[in-house]
Amino acid sequence: MQSEDYAIKSVDHKFFEPGHSYNVCDQDFGLIEKRKRRVDNIWIPDWWQDLVRQSSKKFSVVKMNKEEMKSLKKFRKVVTYRKKASDGNNVEWLKLRWMHFESGLPYIMSFKPTLSNDFPFRQVSFGKVGRPASLPNLGPLYTEPRALKAAKVKDLHSLLMFVPPVYHKFYNSIKAETSAHTDETEDIEDTDSEEPDEEFEENNETTEEAQTCR
C-alpha cells in the first residue's frame, strides 16, 4: 500500500468462521484439477501456467519476475511483534476474523474477532519507537536466479532419464547452492514493554472519536 505505483488506500483480510470454510475460489481449483486430469505429464513450470490459463476463460495468469519479489529485511528493522493491543489487553491471534490496514497508518493494524460491521475494531501498533514516519522502500529479494538445495538438484538430475531430452535444458540450468545458505528471515522481537508512542496514541484517539461519531 505504501508504494507510489498503486493507489490502494486500505486492505482488509477476512477469515472464515470455523465450520464455514467454503470459498468461491474452491470452484476455480476444481476447474484446474479437472483440466489436469486431461494432461498426462507436465514437464516444465510454463506448462502449469498454460494449464491454468486454459482451465477457464475467466482466468488471467500473471507471471512475476524476480524484480517483483521484495525483501522484507528493511521492514523488519522498523517493526516489532506485540502481544498486547493499544487498550492493554492481549491480542488473541487465533480468534481474529478481520484485519484492517490503512496506507495512512502504516504501522497499525485494526482487528476484531468477528465479521460483523457493528462490532468495533481494536488496534495494535507494530512500529518500533523512533521508527520513520513511513515504511522503508523495499529492495529486491533476489538479484539473480535463486539456487536450490544441492540435494534437491541432485534428485532432479537423477530423474532426467524419465524426462524427454527436449526439456533437459531447463533442469540443467537450475543452480545448486555452493555454500551455506543464509535465510533472510529473522525473528521479530517482542517489545510489549515499550511505552506507546505519541503518534500511535494520537491515531488511536482519532479512530475512537470517529467510531463514536458513527
Residue ranges covered by each domain of the chain: 10-22+66-141+184-213
pTM above 0.75, yes or no: no
For residue 14, the model assigns a pLDDT of 92
Q: Among residues 211, 197, 14, which one has the least CA distance to residue 107?
A: 197
As a whole number, mean pLDDT of residues 122-141 equals 86
What percentage of residues in the chain have a pLDDT greater than 70? Answer: 80
Using one digit for the tens of pLDDT, what is the confidence trace for 90-99? 999 999 999 9
CA torsion angle 189 78 113 22 (round to 10): -100
Cα 66 to Cα 175: distance, rounded to the nearest angstrom: 15
For residue 180, the model assigns a pLDDT of 57
Cell numbers placing 27:
470452484
Q: How many CA atoms lie within 13 A of 3 on its CB side?
A: 6
Cα 63 to Cα 53: distance, rounded to the nearest angstrom: 11
